[in-house]
Structure 1
């Protein structure tokens, strides 16, 4: 952690819930990006977390935009900066609702156009800002206000959708591993073209765990394989951080699920399906790493 700059761009005055992992993610993203950066934020938790006008906890320019338009706004902004000869970092910071569902058309368009920007999806697996409704990112078996008996479908594979656009760089991260996140953002911003980082961001009230357990829950996600840390450069995938160990030996998925109240209604069959999905995912990644897939 000593290599991370001391400069702070996210001040200690956010409106986040106790234990929220979003300010932690944003803190290390902005540390990696530096002061010559603008954030484009659609409707999401961060719209509230940043503070109420005229006050803000974010010490760099922020553009709050409509739910579906973040990547389109960032696309125009990036073109304007580049036309003016500026290298300003343009970073979209959007939740899963504004990425997996509502904003996916704009994201697809920006990736297809080759926009020089970084799109970050912080994923708390539901529409947390409006009461924890189901999103396309909500996993199988998770209870939300609109799926009180647990969601019956698997989580949408956003990373596969993004990868189909062949971005120059894409990666996953987790708020429980800030150095891994910092390094990936720093690398992404050193590359010209469309970049994408997908971060798992545990949510205490939505996931129903005590606010002091955010880091431990994030680590359980990675250690169980329910969330895999990797990066993909020009199509080539490599595991990073704790996921290297998880590829060889994992804790049971059930250990991760039991740490959260949202999976209390999950059936044994659903838990088994999630475990099998983890095994299948690692087999697929292993084949990709070996070049046999």
Structure 2
């Protein structure tokens, strides 16, 4: 990752995702999108799948976006972005366009892990120079907090309820980064809204690589009503996700993998905060038993073992 910004003061003062949308107080995705657009600048075209950000930021006749913006269906952001990128290429080749605008597709976990996975895979495999941003609030929040492929194990949602038989979601969270990296793209990264400088630098790095092919950034974006926590705790909970090792920060850069602070120290488990610090602040995990917590800890340890093997192979 190239270093474009070192402190918050280095970020542009210009705002391309304006205030006053209909997002919930403490909305994680809206915080993330604001940082992303500050880093990307004005010379971009946004292709946004239906989801929380779209329905809250584009209520006709108003819009929160001050850059070119295309709203598409839940499942086809990657396909539409592929078309936009191809059209720009043709116009430039014919001398009909001088602008160097770059295409950014934005979708939530429902539109990425599940409904839009086929379109995303096609975009990556074909090599379109598009930055795809996944804002992951770990459920279909826009439609009523239904579970998705990105919902973590044991989490309560309206379609993974807690009762005498079920104790939240039965399945584990899908490893979207491994799926994306398996397409051999130039650049992929995880990011967290609690680390805005890391996020901004990854956005700029990804945009710089688009002449070589697609890029992908997976941003953790907590949701107060869906995760059941007080709205003022969004950044704290996001930070704990990384500090406990639940959501590590790393990059896949041209076949090399590297970890970013603080995750670069977390191969040593003693450097991670207890996972209970993350879980206990969220009502969606209020039902967990000690056995459930131990299973989550085991899954996190297994994931870090897997990541350590990747580092040995691709580090």
Please give the TM-score of this superposition, normalised by the length of structure 2.
0.90
Instruction: State the structure with more CA Rg.
Output: 2
* 1:178-212 Cα shifts (integer Å, max 9, x gaps): 11100000000001211000011000010000000
Residues 188 and 215, structure 2, Cα contact 8 Å, conserved in 1: yes
What residue in structure 2 maps to residue 171 of structure 1?
A: 189
Question: Quick one: which of 37, 57, 76 aligns to 2:44?
Answer: 37
User: 1:186-205 alignment to 2 at 5 Å?
Assistant: 186-191=204-209, 192=211, 193-205=213-225
What residue in structure 1 maps to residue 203 of structure 2?
A: 185
The alpha carbon displacement at 1:49 in A equals 2.2
Range with greater deviation from structure 2 (71-80 or 43-52): 43-52
In 1: Cα distance, 2:311 partner to 2:138 partner: 27
What residue in structure 1 maps to residue 236 of structure 2?
A: 216
Secondary structure of the corresponding residue to residue 98 of structure 1: helix
Residues 174 and 218, structure 1, Cα contact 8 Å, conserved in 2: yes
In 2: Cα distance, 1:41 partner to 1:197 partner: 15
What residue in structure 1 maps to residue 174 of structure 2?
A: 156
**CA RMSD of the aligned region, Å?**
1.3
In 1: Cα distance, 2:314 partner to 2:219 partner: 27
What residue in structure 2 maps to residue 126 of structure 1?
A: 139
In 2: Cα distance, 1:27 partner to 1:292 partner: 32
User: 1:7-86 alignment to 2 at 5 Å?
Assistant: 7-85=14-92, 86=99
In 1: Cα distance, 2:292 partner to 2:208 partner: 41
Residues 257 and 314, structure 2, Cα contact 8 Å, conserved in 1: no
What residue in structure 2 maps to residue 261 of structure 1?
A: 283
Secondary structure of the corresponding residue to residue 84 of structure 1: helix
The alpha carbon displacement at 1:269 in A equals 2.5
Residues 27 and 224, structure 2, Cα contact 8 Å, conserved in 1: yes
In 1: Cα distance, 2:218 partner to 2:260 partner: 14
What residue in structure 1 maps to residue 117 of structure 2?
A: 104
In 1: Cα distance, 2:32 partner to 2:46 partner: 13
What residue in structure 1 maps to residue 308 of structure 2?
A: 286
The alpha carbon displacement at 1:264 in A equals 1.2
The alpha carbon displacement at 1:51 in A equals 3.4
What residue in structure 2 maps to residue 235 of structure 1?
A: 255
What residue in structure 2 maps to residue 244 of structure 1?
A: 264
Unaligned runs of 5+ residues in structure 2 are 1-7, 93-98, 163-167
In 2: Cα distance, 1:217 partner to 1:243 partner: 16
Moved over 4 A (4+): none
What residue in structure 2 maps to residue 206 of structure 1?
A: 226
The alpha carbon displacement at 1:292 in A equals 8.0
> How many residue pairs get matched?
293
Range with greater deviation from structure 2 (92-101 or 281-290): 281-290
Residues 141 and 267, structure 1, Cα contact 8 Å, conserved in 2: no
The alpha carbon displacement at 1:244 in A equals 1.9
Unaligned runs of 5+ residues in structure 1 are none
